[in-house]
């Protein structure tokens, strides 16, 4: 059973377009992280959200944590080829630091 569902699984867009990636669950998380991973490398942390309704911005990336802390979204404005990669959401259900990973969204931004 996949506790964290990510959508879409794959997205191919033109440079300059906007996009949103969703991470949904029926479970409540104490915190949620978003990572980006490039081929052959480990995931790199983008953001951690902990408060329901929280919105964080990282340049052209906007992250939102759902009010009930069950879901999250990542919005990218004016995507660039450098944004290409695998985006992973991961939620923590307790203070053990053990994370449940989503299935991932593979993003391709074409020049």
Partner 1 sequence: GAVVSQHPSRVICKSGTSVKIECRSLDFQATTMFWYRQFPKQSLMLMATSNEGSKATYEQGVEKDKFLINHASLTLSTLTVTSAHPEDSSFYICSVAKTGGVGETQYFGPGTRLLVL
Binding site for partner 1 (CB under 8 A): 30-33, 35, 40-45, 48-50, 88, 90, 92, 95-99, 101-104, 106
Phi first, then psi, for residue 75 (nearest 5°) are -115, 130
Of 13 and 92, nearer to partner 1 (C-beta) is 92
Task: Give the integer Cα–Cα distance in Å for 111 and 79.
Answer: 10
Of 23 and 79, nearer to partner 1 (C-beta) is 23
Q: How far is the CB of 86 from partner 1 (least distance, A)?
A: 8
Of 16 and 32, nearer to partner 1 (C-beta) is 32
Of 66 and 102, nearer to partner 1 (C-beta) is 102
Q: How far is the CB of 49 from partner 1 (least distance, A)?
A: 7
Q: How far is the CB of 79 from partner 1 (least distance, A)?
A: 21
DSSP letter assigned to residue 96: T
Identify how many contiguous H helices and E strands the chain contains and give both numbers. Answer: 0, 11
Task: Give the integer Cα–Cα distance in Å for 92 and 79.
Answer: 28
Task: Quickly tell me which residue has 């669950």 as its tokens.
Answer: 25
């Amino acid at each position: 059973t996949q506790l964290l569902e990510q959508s879409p699984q794959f997205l191919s867009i033109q440079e300059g377009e906007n996009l949103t990636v969703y991470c949904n669950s029926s479970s409540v998380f104490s915190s949620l992280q978003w990572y980006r991973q490039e081929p052959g490398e480990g995931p790199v942390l983008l953001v951690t959200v902990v408060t329901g309704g929280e919105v964080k911005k990282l340049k052209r990336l906007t992250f939102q944590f759902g009010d009930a802390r069950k879901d999250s979204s990542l919005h990218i404005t004016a995507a660039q080829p450098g944004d290409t990669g695998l985006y992973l959401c991961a939620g923590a259900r307790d203070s053990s630091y053990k994370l449940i990973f989503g299935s991932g969204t593979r993003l391709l931004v074409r020049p």
